[in-house]
Chains A and B, each alone.
Chain A
Amino acid sequence: MARFLTIGERIHVISPTIRKALEERNPEPILKRAKEQIDAGANYLDVNIGPADRDGEELMPWVVKILQDEFPETPLCLDTANMKALEAGIKVYDRTAGKPIINSADAGPRLDMVNLAAEYDAIVIGLCAKEGIPRDNDERIMYCTEILERAMEAGLDQENILFDPLFVVVKGMQDKQQEVLEAVRQISEMGLKTTGGLSNVSNGCPKEIRGLIEATFCAMAIQCGLTSAIINPLDKLVMDVIKTADLIKERYLYADSYLEL
């Protein structure tokens, strides 16, 4: 079985540094964050440029190019609701290191992202949601099925979809945590791949315990079948727990120095 896939989340327009760098087309801060995450062991890097209604079609190719020129061995996850920006980004994307991931489709207004992934042979994250957070797992599975149906029509192999059941914040939605884990299990039992944003779970919690909450949730989700996550790779606890969970899943061979690899 393949190793757990980590997608580094730290190139995000919500960060003032990144927002400014994107606006000013200044590569330095973006490349710095990319390097930190690659050194920490991230497999993919998420690149969130926000809605980018005004200049997304120009911005996404720019950021894809600067990252791939500097880090040709790291594949990217292109993250925006702007479909034209995604398409422009994919067109310049060099897939030597791996297919691009589109972040993300849903069962509602962004269902067409599935067709975009099919057209360009990309991977797509499929949010099991239509409007806001799904009410329960019946809804999640329904949306999952809708995305899967669209993918079949479009000729996109299910291998190329990462279903995101939508992780929810523990502080305030504690009663929903088991349900989300159960959704991961149900989707996994259908033979499908899964992902989710780990920082959702610890949102609003004190900084010093966020990593612990994320790492614990991640380990529990991996046991339910989770195959990837969008994470902060600079959090060593989270990365070490993922490596250890992979070890216990027998996805690679033990050696005393396994955490150093």
Chain B
Amino acid sequence: MAYKMPTQKYSGKINEVTIGTDLKIGGESVLPFYSFDGDIGNKPAIGMEIWDVYPESWPEAVLNIFKDVVDDPVKWAKFCIENYNPDFICLKFEGANPDGLDRSPEECAEVAKNVADNVNVPLVIAGCQNSEKTAKVFTKVAEALANKNFVFLSAVESNYKEVGAAVGLAYGNIVAAESSVDLNLAKQLNILITQLGIQPDRMVMDPGCSAVGYGFEYVVTTMDRIRLAALQQNDSTLQVPMILPVSFESWKVKESIATEDDAPEWGSQEDRGVGMEISTAVGVLAAGANAVILRHPRSVEVVRNFVNQMTE
């Protein structure tokens, strides 16, 4: 008798969310890359991180790649798109941080508008460390980019009402719900955001990210359990695509920031940083991430190859 491969069927399905005009993520009804079980939905998307200000804290080797464009977010975004072809650009408003440049929401909105007007890929807008300021920035930026279907990363427990009302309800963009590696809080925040009146297919989630080696097992088990609840238990509150800002985490750990003078035995700093970024990205993709944000062009290339080989 011919062998019939058993397949695992689930009752749930992840929502398909459109970012911008035509970047679709989610839509799968099986575990990540389990094409032998069923529909794996859309290919995970890869975005590149840029800042609204000169990224002083970035390692020199990374800065060198972008050195001619980092003083202008529009040029920087175009440079990334022309050379590395990312699915989206993540514009991070590090300059809004009250402990730093403390740029006003209005200034941020102008930058965002400029970038959006000059690029042909969708944007993911990220805030700064301060959630109160981030909410104010998002309100102005979402207004400037009304109904663009761009993702705002992110709404957290302390600012979800303000962010949800402005980004999702008033200005027609997509809210990302961010929790910090806490399964039950991830679900709770999704519930609270939908209770504001935001439709589940107008949301994505960031369940919390860390770099490999930094509590990464918790990130992966949290993501796994979110996906299993969504698929096996048909939990509609968790059938939300996941976006993971990998580069935010992987480029701030000591493996990526220690210079070759600090740790000569560790070898090339650039290689280490890229290694951390790729390992983290592949880990979260295998745990169900529908989009990742990366910084280094080499990481983009390797992760894209990985995704293509797993999906084609």
Q: Is the CB of A254 within 8 A of B187?
A: yes
Q: Is the CB of A252 within 8 A of B188?
A: no
Check: A24 CB closer than 8 A to any chain B CB: no
Q: Which residues of B contact A253 (CB under 8 A)?
A: 183-184, 187, 225, 229, 233, 235, 238
Interface residues of B in 173-215 (CB under 8 A from A): 183-185, 187-188, 191-192, 195
> Which residue, of B184, B187, B225, B229, has the highest number of chain A Cβ atoms within 10 A?
B187
Q: Is the CB of A261 within 8 A of B237?
A: yes
Q: Is the CB of A252 within 8 A of B235?
A: yes
Complex Cα distance A131/B59, Å? Answer: 83
Q: Determine which of B188, B225, B235, B238 lies in contact with A257 in the assembled complex, contact meaning CB atoms within 8 Å.
A: B188
Q: Which residues of A contact B183 (CB under 8 A)?
A: 253
Q: Is the CB of B184 within 8 A of A255?
A: yes
B188 to chain A, nearest CB (A): 4
CB closest chain-A residue, reference B232:
A1
Q: Which residues of A contact B188 (CB under 8 A)?
A: 255-257
Q: Is the CB of A255 within 8 A of B237?
A: yes
Complex Cα distance A251/B235, Å? Answer: 10
Q: Is the CB of A257 within 8 A of B233?
A: no
Q: Is the CB of B229 within 8 A of A252?
A: yes
Q: Which residues of B contact A257 (CB under 8 A)?
A: 188, 191-192, 195
Interface residues of B, count at CB 8 A: 14
Complex Cα distance A182/B195, Å? Answer: 41
Complex Cα distance A257/B186, Å? Answer: 12
Q: Is the CB of A255 within 8 A of B191?
A: yes
Q: Which residues of B contact A39 (CB under 8 A)?
A: none
Interface residues of A in 51-73 (CB under 8 A from B): none
A2 to chain B, nearest CB (A): 9
CB closest chain-B residue, reference A250:
B233
Q: Which residues of B contact A252 (CB under 8 A)?
A: 229, 233, 235
Q: Determine which of A254, A260, A261 lies in contact with B184 in the assembled complex, contact meaning CB atoms within 8 Å.
A: A254
Q: Which residues of B contact A261 (CB under 8 A)?
A: 191, 237
A257 to chain B, nearest CB (A): 5
A101 to chain B, nearest CB (A): 19
B148 to chain A, nearest CB (A): 30
Complex Cα distance A261/B234, Å? Answer: 13
Q: Is the CB of A260 within 8 A of B191?
A: yes
Complex Cα distance A260/B237, Å? Answer: 12
Complex Cα distance A256/B195, Å? Answer: 13
Complex Cα distance A251/B228, Å? Answer: 12
Q: Which residues of B contact A3 (CB under 8 A)?
A: 233
CB closest chain-B residue, reference A3:
B233
Complex Cα distance A3/B229, Å? Answer: 12
CB closest chain-B residue, reference A254:
B184
Q: Which residues of A contact B229 (CB under 8 A)?
A: 252-253
Closest 9 CB pairs of A and B: A255-B187, A255-B188, A253-B229, A257-B191, A256-B188, A254-B184, A252-B233, A253-B187, A255-B184
Please give 14 more A-B residue pairs, beta carbons under 8 A apart, in addition to A252-B229, A253-B225, A257-B188: A3-B233, A252-B233, A252-B235, A253-B187, A253-B229, A253-B238, A254-B184, A254-B187, A255-B185, A255-B187, A255-B191, A255-B237, A256-B184, A257-B195
Offer 30 A-B interface pairs, CB within 8 angstroms, sorted by A: A3-B233, A251-B233, A252-B229, A252-B233, A252-B235, A253-B184, A253-B187, A253-B225, A253-B229, A253-B233, A253-B235, A253-B238, A254-B184, A254-B187, A255-B184, A255-B185, A255-B187, A255-B188, A255-B191, A255-B237, A256-B184, A256-B188, A257-B188, A257-B191, A257-B192, A257-B195, A260-B191, A260-B195, A261-B191, A261-B237
B residues bordering A, Cβ < 8 Å?
Answer: 183-185, 187-188, 191-192, 195, 225, 229, 233, 235, 237-238
A residues bordering B, Cβ < 8 Å?
Answer: 3, 251-257, 260-261
